[in-house]
Structure 1
Amino acid sequence: MWFTGGMTSESRVVSAERLSSASPEVLFELIADPAQQPRWDGNDNLAEAADGQRVHAVGEVFVMTNTGDRVRENRIVEFVEGRKIAWLPSPVGETPPGHLWRWELEPREGGTLVRHTYDWSELHDPRRIERAKQNTAEALLASVDRLVALAEQD
């Protein structure tokens, strides 16, 4: 069973969610370890991240190489172990342009509600707007589905 939250023409926040039979802890390990992220990325945008960057707190930064060899720093701005993590990506050494990726995990009877949100309400760089609009609820759901499939294998 899955649900998607759309985006109105006025909104710059889009999300998708679904139920998983996996525990929040199993799901969170796949999200909080950047080396695992390319395994579940539904946009095929993430190429690789070095091992040993598992996130533990707000303020940490992990480095990811995107497809096309674009290296990005990702600053953790929200963190609750096993429940919530959010980051602001940016080119290395630059101020984040204002878009945020968030994962929230809510324990439910028999599993977890997995919610993935892309928030570009603070994005003001006109060169990035068209790309931001491509992150639809359906695109986010592809990542949620892949993440859930991996977690439920364990």
Structure 2
Amino acid sequence: MEDSERYISATRFIAAPPETLFEFIADPAVQPKWDGNNNLSSAAPGQRVHEAGDVFVMTNVGDRVRENHVVEFEEGRRIAWRPSPVGETPPGHLWRWELEPTTGGSLVRHSYDWTALTDPARFDRARANTPETLRASLDRLAAFAEAATTEQ
């Protein structure tokens, strides 16, 4: 399998500043409200990410609890984490969000990289992530941000 098949991304403009969007992404308790993969169930409040090295815990659909090890972080601009079962080494996949300020809002790229995933038992689940599912998260994040901006 080619590495190019194991890295997917989607990009879209969202009419909100990067700082606003980043708050929704960096706070795990908010993520299930806009997740387009329909994979996230819940996360305890108070886990807002502040730096690389942070770990937040998320419960996925099916009550699978995951630790998410933050490996990239630039406040308001970029965040990436490697999920793993609790207490285990991350198996090799990465979720990344990159935000770029533009006139009237932000250009947001969401990517999923499983080039380092070596466990064949996880490949089918990894393949289920597509540019369309990433785009669904972008679209739901946009709707969530626009609704939050309207409420202010």
What TM-score range do you get, normalising by the shorter chain?
Answer: over 0.9
Match of 1:113 among 98, 107, 123: 107
The 5 Å alignment of 1:16-35 reads: 16-35=10-29
Determine whether 1:44 maps to 2:74: no
Match of 2:96 among 78, 102, 110: 102
Q: Helix, strand or coil: the match of 1:144?
A: helix
Q: Which amino acid aligns with 2:116?
A: E
Q: Which residue of 2 aligns with 1:4?
A: none
What is the TM-score of this pair, normalised by structure 2?
0.94
For 1:10 and 1:150, locate their aligned partners in 2 and report how far apart those are by CA, in whole Å: 31
For 1:104 and 1:88, locate their aligned partners in 2 and report how far apart those are by CA, in whole Å: 15
Q: Which amino acid aligns with 1:36?
A: V
Residue deviations 1:23-65 (CA, integer Å, cap 9, x gap): 1011000000000000111111100000000000000000000
What is the TM-score of this pair, normalised by structure 1?
0.93
Q: Which amino acid aligns with 2:27?
A: D
For 1:80 and 1:55, locate their aligned partners in 2 and report how far apart those are by CA, in whole Å: 10
For 2:24 and 2:118, locate their aligned partners in 1 and report how far apart those are by CA, in whole Å: 31
Q: Helix, strand or coil: the match of 1:62?
A: strand
Q: Work out whether residues 3 and 115 of structure 2, in 8 Å CA contact, stay in contact via their aligned partners in 1.
A: no
Q: Which residue of 2 aligns with 1:144?
A: 138
Q: Structure 1: any 5+ residue segments left out of the alignment?
A: 1-7
Determine whether 1:67 maps to 2:61: yes
Q: Which residue of 2 aligns with 1:12?
A: 6
In the TM superposition, residue 11 of structure 1 has moved relative to its aligned partner by: 2.7
Q: Which amino acid aligns with 1:151?
A: A
Q: Structure 2: any 5+ residue segments left out of the alignment?
A: none
For 1:14 and 1:123, locate their aligned partners in 2 and report how far apart those are by CA, in whole Å: 14
For 1:104 and 1:143, locate their aligned partners in 2 and report how far apart those are by CA, in whole Å: 13
User: Runs ≥4 in structure 1, deviation > 3 angstroms?
Assistant: none
